[in-house]
Amino acid sequence: MAKGAVYFHFPHKEGLAVAVVEEHYACWPQILAEVDAENLPPLETAIAMLDRAALAFRDSTVVQGGARLQIERPQIDAEFSTPFVDWTSFLTSLLAQTRDQGQIRADAAPPDAAARALVAGFFGTRHVSDVLHQRTDLGDRRTEIRDPLLRALRT
């Protein structure tokens, strides 16, 4: 697409930034629909979502662009969706279902605390991978944080 066409649709840079961030967030319901079709138990759904999100951060230009803009939000004069909150609610709900099915260790953190740890660990891993290795190592790195956090949860 020519630069002129982009500015026809998005006369202000800020409008373009908001559109990229919203397109980024629109990826997650699509991925959830794919994962839901597999009818996994709730904890496996959570893991599958995080694994596919990691691949999207590694491979999708829109997801990378939205994430970069979210990082730069203090410098951009636009209203973006608040990051982290929806993912945390989503994972909290899946972990609460897992607990109610007796599939979480008795000494594990409550669902909301465990969900916050998963979100923070996932975000930190992809940011460090982005800064140090342009995300090329994200496939290996994500299991380094995912596996110990899951070990603290699984019965």
Binding site for its own copies (CB under 8 A): 68, 71-75, 82-85, 108-109, 113-114, 116-117, 119-125, 127-128, 131-132, 141, 144-145, 147-149, 151-153
Please tell me the distance from the alpha carbon of residue 155 to that of residue 90, in angstroms, as a whole number: 21
**Least CB distance to its own copies at residue 39 (A):** 28
Cα–Cα–Cα angle for 136, 140, 142, nearest 5°?
100
Asked if 138 and 126 count as a contact pair (C-beta separation under 8 A), the reply is yes
CB closer to its own copies out of 99 and 141: 141
Q: Token pair of 22, please?
A: 């919203």
**Least CB distance to its own copies at residue 65 (A):** 12
**Least CB distance to its own copies at residue 67 (A):** 12
CB closer to its own copies out of 40 and 120: 120
CB closer to its own copies out of 56 and 114: 114
- Match 């997650």 to its residue by tokens: 28
Number of neighbours of residue 12 by Cβ within 10 angstroms:
11
